[in-house]
Amino acid sequence: MTAQAEAESEVAKEWEPRIAAFCCNWCSYAGADLAGTSRIQYPPNARIIRVNCTGRIDAEFILSALDMGADGVLVSGCHPGDCHYTSGNLKLRARWALIELAVEQAGIDSRRIRLQWASASEAQTFADGVTKLIEQVKEVGPIGRSWI
């Protein structure tokens, strides 16, 4: 193995993915807050971004987060049927396949994005979602910026 390959291998071992987590103001953001106040452990490399409703999220949000340096994106909202705005999360669920397609068409592995439902009382569910996404992104490896 060459010195450069060994150096790249060491960097890959130390690499920790950065996650952008778009969280519904009414449910998942409170769940993330509860995870913190309850001292539920999850990786610290997730940055929480509060949005009024996940129904607002589209492919542009996801691609912009990846463009700005995130290695993965979590979208976490109210359970279907429990949306503060009645149907916002249902709209997101309906467009999620299109979001995955847009990500793949940009040359990005769709395992870098994750949709999950977590209520305000489901701190562990939120923490588990962050952990699972980070594990998936680690399997895929660092994101190349050549797609930008």
Q: What is the pLDDT of residues 57-114, one digit of tens each?
A: 999 999 999 999 999 999 999 999 999 999 999 999 999 999 999 999 999 999 999 9
Distance CA 134, CA 47 (A): 12
Please tell me the total count of domains within the chain.
1
Distance CA 69, CA 59 (A): 16
DSSP readout, 54-75? GGG--HHHHHHHHHTT-SEEEE
Q: Is residue 2 part of a domain?
A: no
Give the mean model confidence (pLDDT) for residues 48-58.
Answer: 97
Structure tokens at 34: 């509860």
Distance CA 42, CA 21 (A): 13
Q: Is residue 117 part of a domain?
A: yes
Q: Is residue 148 part of a domain?
A: no
- Domain hosting residue 58, numbered range: 17-139
Q: Is residue 47 part of a domain?
A: yes
Q: Is residue 12 part of a domain?
A: no
Give the mean model confidence (pLDDT) for residues 120-146.
Answer: 94
CATH code assigned at 111 = 3.40.50
Distance CA 95, CA 97 (A): 6
Q: Is residue 145 part of a domain?
A: no
Q: Is residue 114 part of a domain?
A: yes
